[in-house]
Amino acid sequence: MKKTGVLVLCISFAACFGSHKIQRLEVKHFDKEGHRGCRGLMPENTIPAMLKAIDLGVTTLETDAIITQDNKVILSHEPFFNHEIATKPDGSLVTEAEEKGLNIYHMNYEEVKKFDVGQRPHPRYPKQQKLAAVKPLLSDMIDAVEEYCKANKKPLPNYNIETKSHAETDDQYHPKPAEFVELLIGVIKEKKIDHRIIIQSFDPRTLQYLHAHYPEYKTALLIEGTDKKALALQLRDLGFIPAVYSPEHTLVTPLLVKQCRDAGISLLPWTVNTIERIRELKKMGVNGVISDYPDLFKDL
């Protein structure tokens, strides 16, 4: 399909939903998102990482959510203990061969919090500060962040929460989308942060369930760098216009920026880890970026 055809299809697709069905994200600033808190500087998806990101001035905390056997929503990129970051309760290191057998969906949270995920030197992030840390409950992370911001007179952040699910691993590593979403929404409502939430996913089923049952919540469609399908076709497959389109940053082009703007979608690429690329994307017109190194934002 020619580029002009894609652009027309994208605009036409957005228009066919009517403005009342399109999620609108009010963007009053360049959204500076800390990936997993600040993975490049602190142990990922931990409370210390989130508090450090707040100190560095992020506007949004990006994180991942998974579910335990006792239906607790916790922060973790994988539904198991990754061998790069995890230490077992007895002090031995989790190995690559055994990591997927340490299935968090088959553990109660009391078991999960006995594993350390902050003291091992990370092979790919040598700047990470090492400290004892656990995979926290989402509710505990929100409480810690809100209290920290209020105590230190800092603006309350937004939260961009990814549901870590895939159709092929339903009921193996996580519940099906409906149950997953309901557990996540339960925490969000309990903490009264509905107006500061984006829920993102590579799994369109999660977003489709949200759109059908909780259309007031903003959603973000995550796109892998290997997915070369045109924006309009991705939106067609999703079935609605999300508030945010979030591709791997190498996919961003001036045309994509225009298509998102014309469709009323915020464009938020991930994971952008050099100041040169952040500046390039900002100049191109993206609405924000997700970075492992939120300390780079001070140079914008």
- CB-neighbour burial class of residue 191 (10 A; exposed 0-12, middle 13-18, buried 19+): middle
pLDDT band, residue 10 (cuts 50/70/90): low
pLDDT band, residue 108 (cuts 50/70/90): very high
- C-beta separation of 104 from 66 below 8 A: yes
Q: Render pLDDT for 204-236 as a digit per residue (tens, 0 to 9).
A: 999 999 999 999 999 999 999 999 999 999 999
| Bridge partners, 103 (sequence order) | 80
| Bridge partners, 290 (sequence order) | 33
In single-letter form, the type of residue at position 269 comes to P
CATH number of 28-225: 3.20.20.190
Percent over 90 (pLDDT), the chain: 90
